[in-house]
Amino acid sequence: MPAEFRFMKLHGIRDLNRKHSQWSFFLRRLQLLMVAAMLLFGCTPGFRKGCRDTVCGPDVKIIAFHVQKNYELIQRLGRRLYAKNPRYEPDPAMRAKKIDSIFNRGVEVYPRLKALPSHRLLEQAFAPNPEVSDRVFLLVLGLKKGIDEAYNTGGSLFLTGCQIDPGRLERLYSNFSQVNWRMKTYRDRKGKLFFITNEAGENGYINMGFEVIMTSMLTRIGDDIYLRGGLEKNLAFRLSAIFISII
């Protein structure tokens, strides 16, 4: 075999080996990107569906379920409060629009409230002269933002419950407890409750289940604190008499 041909053959083999190595490197990088995508879109704090056992621990799945259920309960609470307190928004279509805007399903109704943290919104909901007249909107937005802040639902990636700050959950529990109490006790200058929840009607006592909703959310938050390794289950929480910053 001529030397020139042997050189060309050897050079071709080396070239193929180099291309094979480059292709293998490319495939490894592609596999890493696919795994990263699974982590990012499967178990973000947004709690998207499709989280797999190989990626997320069972504690994350439980916490994700609790957050989703609490979102649903907050919306239900808002609809019921509007039904019992129509003075805050007489138009049923506008009520739905406002709740949708809180859960990012439409145009923002009160853009100036966007920058307020949850505890400030809750303070406004029970203030003598709130920044906007719709106390139901302030309350529902404050509760929803509280969940977002405590569980970091719009923040960084997490794969286990250990990445959730138990201190934030405890402050969330305190604020929700304060809401539960104030809804039953806070009144305006005329002595009328800010939020009518239960009242006697012609056919007897009407119970719209407001306290049941709040208790359900508090129970889930308490369970998440227990899962996260915070205070012992069923141990009394040290509650604040004011709304406190979660972050």
Predicted pLDDT of residue 88: 97
- Judge residue 6's burial from the number of C-beta atoms within 10 Å of its C-beta, 0-12 exposed, 13-18 middle, 19 or more buried: exposed
Q: Tell me the helix, strand and coil percentages in the chain, rounded to 5.
A: 60, 5, 35
Residue 225 has pLDDT above 80, yes or no: yes
Helix (H/G/I), strand (E/B), else coil: 187: strand
Cα angle at 186 between 185 and 188, to 5 degrees?
A: 135
Each residue of 24-49: pLDDT tens digit? 555 556 555 544 444 444 444 444 44
The residue ranking higher by pLDDT, 247 or 227, is 247
Cα angle at 102 between 91 and 138, to 5 degrees?
A: 75
**177/222 Cα distance (integer angstroms):** 11
Domain boundaries, the chain: 1-42, 46-227
The residue ranking higher by pLDDT, 61 or 53, is 61
Q: Taking the CB of residue 133, how many other CB atoms lie within 10 A of it?
A: 11
Taking the model in full, what pTM does it have? 0.74
> How does the average pLDDT of the chain come out, rounded?
78
Each residue of 142-201: pLDDT tens digit? 999 999 999 987 654 455 556 788 889 999 999 999 999 999 999 999 999 999 887 655
Token representation of residue 215: 């208790």
Predicted pLDDT of residue 39: 42
Which positions ≥6 away from 164 have C-beta within 8 Å? Answer: 63, 150, 151, 152, 158, 224, 228
